[in-house]
Amino acid sequence: MADKRVTLKLENVSKVFAKVESDEVTHALYDVNVEMESGEFISLVGPSGCGKSTILRLVAGLITPTLGKVTVDGEEVKGPDPQRGMVFQKPTLFPWLTVEKNIGFSLEMQGKLKGNEDKVQRMLEIIGLEKFKDDYPGQLSGGMAQRVALVRSLINEPEILLLDEPLGALDAFTRMNMQDEILNIWADTKQLALMVTHDVDEAIYMGTRVLVMDSHPGRIVADIKIDEAFPRDRSSTKFVEYRNEILNKLHFGGKHS
Sheet of 7-18: strand order equals 25-37, 7-18, 67-72, 75-76
pLDDT of residue 171 exceeding 90, the answer is no
Residue 247 pLDDT grade (very low, low, confident, very high; cuts 50, 70, 90): very high
Judged by DSSP in three states, 216 sits in: coil
pLDDT of residue 1 exceeding 70, the answer is no
- Let me know the angle formed at the C-alpha of 170 by 169 and 174, rounded to the nearest 5 degrees: 165
pLDDT in tens, 47-65: 988 999 999 999 999 999 9
Per-residue confidence (pLDDT) for residue 55, from 0 to 100: 97
Q: 141: how many CB neighbours lie within 10 A of its CB?
A: 12
pLDDT in tens, 14-37: 999 887 776 778 889 999 999 999
The answer to whether 148 and 101 are in contact (CB under 8 A) is no
What structural domains does the chain harbor? 7-92+161-249 (3.40.50.300)
Judged by DSSP in three states, 34 sits in: strand
Looking at residue 42, its amino acid is I
pLDDT of residue 257 exceeding 80, the answer is no
DSSP 130: G
pLDDT in tens, 113-160: 888 888 899 889 878 899 999 999 999 988 888 889 888 888 877 899
209-214 and 67-72 as β-strands: parallel, antiparallel, unpaired? unpaired
- Let me know the angle formed at the C-alpha of 93 by 96 and 145, rounded to the nearest 5 degrees: 110
